[in-house]
C-alpha cells in the first residue's frame, strides 16, 4: 500500500489505542468525539486530495528511493521545485479546511532529521541516518501521519535543561539499556499528535555538554505505553456539543493541540536519531523551525484566502460591497496575504542542497516569512471584523433562529440586502467569528504568533543571517570611506 484513502486513514486512527484525556475524562474513541472529530477531518483532507488526479502533482511525489508514488507529506525535498510545491500544497489545504491540517509538522521533522542525522553520522560514525531512513520508508509505504514534537515545557527560561529544579522540564533520557533508552518529559502544544500514527521527538533548544541526556531525538507510535495526551481547550469548543452547525462557523474542520506526556517511555535503538551529540541539537532545532516557518507561508495564506472571501461575502450581504473603503480594505487584506505567500515561495526558490542531498529553505527568508506571519494575520482579522460589523459577535444562536416565535423576528430584523437570506448572512458572520475568535483562532491567530517559534526566535535568526557587516561595507564603498 502506498496511498491511503481518507476512509482508510480514519479507520487506521480509530484502531490506534491512544491514551487521550479531555475535560478530566479519558476519551475512549477520539475519532468519534464531536469536539475532536473536525480536527481528524482536516488531516483526512491530506489523504482525500492525494486521491484526485487534478492534485496528483501537488499532493504526491514519486519516491526516488522506491519509485513508488507517496504522499508529499512523507517526502524528502529533493530540489527547489519540491520546496515550492510544498508551500502550494499547504495553501490549497488551508483553503479547503480553513483550519490547521496538522500533518506538516511531521513533514518538517522528516526533512530536519534526515539532513541532520546524516551530518551526525559523518562526524561520529553513528547509525542515525540509517535508522531514520528505515523509519521514513515505513511511513512512506504505509502513508502514515507523523507528528513532530519539539516544544518542551521549559520551566525557568533563564536556565539550561540540566539546571532546572525539576529535571523533567525538558524531555530527557532517564535510563540507558543495551536495547534502547527510557525517556521522560512532555511536549507542549502538540499540533495533531492526536491524529498521528507516529511521533518524532526532537530537542527544543541548542545544548551544551552538560545537557547530554536532553539531546535526544527518536520516533515512537502514538499508542506506545507511557505516551498520553491532555487535549488543549479552544475558545468556543463546546459549541460543537450543542447540535448546532451554524453557531460553530466551521462545523466540518478544525485543529487540535495537546500536552503530550512521555511517562518513562521505552525507545528501541533503531528508532533513535540523536543521542547525546549535544552540538547537533541546535542544527536540528534550526532546521525544523526553518521548515515550519516556511510552512506558514502556505497554510496561513490558504486560511487567509477563506477569511478574505468571507469578508467580501459579508460585505455583499450587508450591501456595502460597492463602498470604496470596503474595496480598499479587501485589497489591503489581499496584499498582506500575498506578501506572506511571496515569502513562502521565495525561501523555497532560494533553497540549497544539504550534505545529505536533500534541500533546505533559505533560512533568512524563512524567518522573515514567519516574522510577517506574527503580524499580518492579525491585521487581516482586524479588517475582516471591520467589514463584518458587530453582528458577528452579537447575533442570537441558531436555537433562537429555529424557534417558531423568535425565528421570524430574527429573520426580519437581521436581514441585510433583500435577496439574501438572513440564515446565509449569519452563516458567513459565524465563519468570520470562528476564524477571528473561535476554535480556528488558535491556528490563525495565536499560532501565527507563537507556532514554529515566538517572534523573538525569528529576530535572533534574522540578526544572525542578515549579514550586517556586508551591508556596512556596501555603504562605506558608496560613500568612499577609507578607514
Q: In angstroms, what is the minimal distance from the CB of 105 to ligand SF4?
A: 5
The option from Fe ion, ligand SF4, none interacting with 101 (CB < 5 to 8 A, set by class) reads: ligand SF4
Contact 256, 117 (CB under 8 A): no
Q: In angstroms, what is the minimal distance from the CB of 103 to ligand SF4?
A: 7
Query: Please, which residues have CB within 8 angstroms of residue 291's CB and are 6 or more apart in sequence?
Result: 107, 108, 111, 112, 360, 361, 366
Q: In angstroms, what is the minimal distance from the CB of 250 to Fe ion?
A: 18
What is the spatial distance between Cα 10 and Cα 141, in angstroms, rounded to a whole number?
A: 17
What is the H or E stretch that residue 280 is in?
none
Site string for Fe ion, 434-453 (x = CB under 5 A): -----------------x--
The option from Fe ion, ligand SF4, none interacting with 457 (CB < 5 to 8 A, set by class) reads: none
Query: Exactly one of 9, 80, 100, 114 is catalytic; which is it?
Result: 100
Q: Which is nearer to ligand SF4, 392 or 452 (CB)?
A: 452
- Residue 184, SS3? strand
Backbone φ/ψ region at 226: left (φ over 0), alpha (ψ -120 to 50), beta: left
Query: Please, which residues have CB within 8 angstroms of residue 301's CB and are 6 or more apart in sequence?
Result: 90, 91, 94, 337, 338, 340, 341, 344
Asked about 379 being catalytic, the answer comes back as no
Q: Which is nearer to ligand SF4, 161 or 298 (CB)?
A: 298
Query: Exactly one of 145, 260, 299, 444 is catalytic; which is it?
Result: 299
Residues making up the chain, counted from first to last: 483
Question: For residue 112, which of 384, 294, 298, 380 has the smallest C-alpha distance?
Answer: 294
Contact 465, 364 (CB under 8 A): yes
Write out the residues near ligand SF4 by the rule CB under 6 A.
100-102, 104-105, 191, 295-296, 299, 443, 447, 451
Query: Exactly one of 46, 60, 191, 422 is catalytic; which is it?
Result: 191
Asked about 296 being catalytic, the answer comes back as yes
Q: In angstroms, what is the minimal distance from the CB of 460 to ligand SF4?
A: 21
Q: Which is nearer to ligand SF4, 451 or 453 (CB)?
A: 451
Position of cell 528505515? 134
Q: Which is nearer to Fe ion, 101 or 359 (CB)?
A: 101
Query: Please, which residues have CB within 8 angstroms of residue 396's CB and are 6 or more apart in sequence?
Result: 406, 410
Q: In angstroms, what is the minimal distance from the CB of 86 to Fe ion?
A: 14
Query: Exactly one of 9, 80, 104, 398 is catalytic; which is it?
Result: 104
Q: What is the CA radius of gyration of the chain?
A: 24
Query: Exactly one of 296, 317, 341, 359 is catalytic; which is it?
Result: 296
Q: Which is nearer to Fe ion, 94 or 451 (CB)?
A: 451
Q: Which is nearer to ligand SF4, 148 or 180 (CB)?
A: 148
Exposure letters 429-453 (e unless 16+ CB within 10 A, then b): bbbbbbbbbbbbbbbbbebbeebbb
Query: Exactly one of 198, 257, 385, 398 is catalytic; which is it?
Result: 257
Q: Which is nearer to Fe ion, 187 or 329 (CB)?
A: 187
Q: Look at strands 60-62 and 69-71 and give their pairing.
A: antiparallel
The option from ligand SF4, Fe ion, none interacting with 304 (CB < 5 to 8 A, set by class) reads: none
Asked about 299 being catalytic, the answer comes back as yes
Asked about 104 being catalytic, the answer comes back as yes
CA distances from 36 to 45, 235, 329, 361, 426 (A): 15, 14, 34, 33, 24
Asked about 100 being catalytic, the answer comes back as yes
Asked about 124 being catalytic, the answer comes back as no
302 scored as a contact of Fe ion (CB under 5 A)? no
The option from ligand SF4, Fe ion, none interacting with 398 (CB < 5 to 8 A, set by class) reads: none
Q: In angstroms, what is the minimal distance from the CB of 192 to ligand SF4?
A: 6
Q: In angstroms, what is the minimal distance from the CB of 414 to ligand SF4?
A: 33
| HSE-up of residue 299 (Cα within 13 Å, Cβ side) | 27
Which positions touch Fe ion (CB under 5 A)? 451
Catalytic residues: 100, 104, 191, 257, 292, 296, 299, 447
Amino acid at each position: 500500500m502506498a496511498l491511503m484513502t481518507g476512509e482508510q486513514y480514519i479507520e487506521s486512527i480509530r484502531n490506534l489505542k491512544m491514551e487521550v484525556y479531555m475535560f478530566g475524562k479519558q476519551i475512549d474513541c477520539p475519532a468519534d468525539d464531536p469536539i475532536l472529530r473536525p480536527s481528524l477531518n482536516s488531516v483526512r483532507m491530506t489523504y482525500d486530495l492525494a486521491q484526485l488526479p487534478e492534485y496528483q502533482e501537488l499532493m504526491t511525489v514519486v519516491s526516488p528511493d522506491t519509485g513508488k508514488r507517496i504522499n508529499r507529506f512523507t517526502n524528502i525535498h529533493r530540489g527547489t521545485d519540491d520546496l515550492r510545491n510544498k508551500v502550494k500544497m499547504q495553501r490549497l489545504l488551508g483553503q479547503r479546511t480553513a483550519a490547521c491540517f496538522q500533518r506538516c509538522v511531521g513533514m518538517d521533522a522528516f526533512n530536519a532529521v534526515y539532513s541532520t542525522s546524516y551530518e551526525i553520522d559523518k562526524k561520529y560514525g553513528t547509525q542515525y541516518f540509517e535508522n531514520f531512513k528505515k523509519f521514513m520508508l515505513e511511513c512512506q509505504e504505509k502513508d502514515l501521519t507523523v507528528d513532530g514534537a519539539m516544544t518542551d515545557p521549559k520551566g525557568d527560561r533563564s536556565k539550561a535543561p540540566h539546571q532546572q529544579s525539576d529535571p523533567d522540564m525538558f524531555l530527557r533520557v532517564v535510563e540507558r539499556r543495551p536495547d534502547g533508552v527510557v525517556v521522560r518529559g512532555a511536549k507542549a502544544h502538540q499540533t495533531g499528535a492526536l491524529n498521528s500514527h507516529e511521533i518524532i521527538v526532537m530537542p527544543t533548544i541548542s545544548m551544551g555538554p552538560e545537557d547530554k541526556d536532553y539531546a535526544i531525538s527518536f520516533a515512537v507510535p502514538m499508542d506506545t505505553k507511557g505516551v498520553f495526551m491532555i487535549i488543549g481547550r479552544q475558545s468556543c469548543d463546546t459549541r460543537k456539543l450543542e447540535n448546532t452547525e451554524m453557531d460553530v462557523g466551521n462545523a466540518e474542520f478544525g485543529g487540535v493541540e495537546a500536552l503530550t506526556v512521555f511517562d518513562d517511555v521505552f525507545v528501541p535503538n533503531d528508532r533513535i536519531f540523536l543521542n547525546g551529540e549535544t552540538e547537533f541539537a541546535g542544527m536540528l532545532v534550526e532546521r525544523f523551525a526553518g521548515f515550519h516557518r516556511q510552512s506558514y507561508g502556505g497554510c496561513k495564506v490558504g486560511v487567509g484566502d477563506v477569511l478574505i472571501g468571507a469578508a467580501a461575502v459579508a460585505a455583499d450581504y450587508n450591501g456595502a460591497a460597492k463602498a470604496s473603503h470596503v474595496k480598499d480594505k479587501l485589497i489591503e487584506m489581499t496584499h498582506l496575504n500575498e506578501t506572506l505567500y511571496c515569502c513562502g515561495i521565495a525561501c523555497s526558490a532560494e533553497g540549497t542542497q544539504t550534505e545529505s542531498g536533500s534541500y533546505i529553505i533559505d533560512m533568512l527568508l524563512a524567518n522573515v516569512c514567519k516574522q510577517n506571519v506574527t503580524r499580518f494575520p492579525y491585521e487581516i482579522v482586524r479588517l475582516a471584523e471591520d467589514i463584518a460589523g458587530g453582528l458577528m459577535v452579537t447575533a442570537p444562536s441558531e436555537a433562537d433562529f429555529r424557534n417558531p416565535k423568535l425565528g421570524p423576528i430574527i429573520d426580519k430584523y437581521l436581514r441585510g440586502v433583500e435577496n439574501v437570506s438572513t440564515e446565509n448572512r449569519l452563516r458567513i458572520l459565524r465563519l468570520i467569528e470562528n476564524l477571528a475568535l473561535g476554535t480556528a483562532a488558535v491556528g490563525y491567530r495565536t499560532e501565527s504568533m507563537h507556532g514554529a517559534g515566538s517572534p523573538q526566535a525569528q529576530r535572533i535568526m534574522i540578526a544572525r543571517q542578515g549579514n550586517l557587516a556586508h551591508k556596512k561595507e556596501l555603504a562605506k564603498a558608496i560613500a568612499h570611506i577609507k578607514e
